[in-house]
Amino acid sequence: MKKVKINSEKCKGCLLCISVCPNNCLKVSDKINKSGHKYVELINEEKCKFCSFCFIMCPDVAIEIVEE
Ligand code: SF4
Ligand code: SF4
């Protein structure tokens, strides 16, 4: 089964992934990572169509689409 995985320590909170997700599956967390950035979390996971837009857009390679 495919799954979107976000590495919260790599994320710098640029929000580019949120802007390209067509299904509102991503949001900014209230929590802060070790670098001081509010990182992105997956929400509405059931709405994700694995389009890869978020993965392609992320400049910090913080998002992966994995098979579990
Ligand atoms: S794979 Fe597509 S639908 Fe899923 S979170 Fe990323 S941009 Fe949104
Ligand atoms: S595009 Fe990457 S670095 Fe930017 S908010 Fe999304 S996961 Fe974080």
Please name the residue whose Cα sits nearest to atom 3 of ligand 2: 11
pLDDT at site 68: 87
The total of structural domains in the chain comes to: 1
Q: Is 45 left (phi over 0), alpha (psi -120 to 50) or beta?
A: alpha
Please name the residue whose Cα sits nearest to atom 8 of ligand 2: 11
pLDDT at site 59: 98
Ligand 2 atom closest to Cα of residue 61:
2
How far apart CA 49 and CA 66 sit, in angstroms, is 13
pTM (2 d.p.): 0.94
For residue 37, what is the domain's CATH number?
Answer: 3.30.70.20
Name residues of the chain where pLDDT drops below 70: none
pLDDT at site 3: 95
* Pocket lining: 26 vs ligand 2, CB cutoff 6 Å: no
Tell me the C-alpha to C-alpha distance, in Å, between residue 62 and each of 8, 13, 56: 7, 10, 10
Domain containing 31: what range?
Answer: 2-67
pLDDT at site 27: 98
Tell me, what DSSP letter sits at residue 49? -
Both structure tokens of 31: 């929590």
pLDDT at site 6: 98
Ligand 1 atom closest to Cα of residue 50:
1
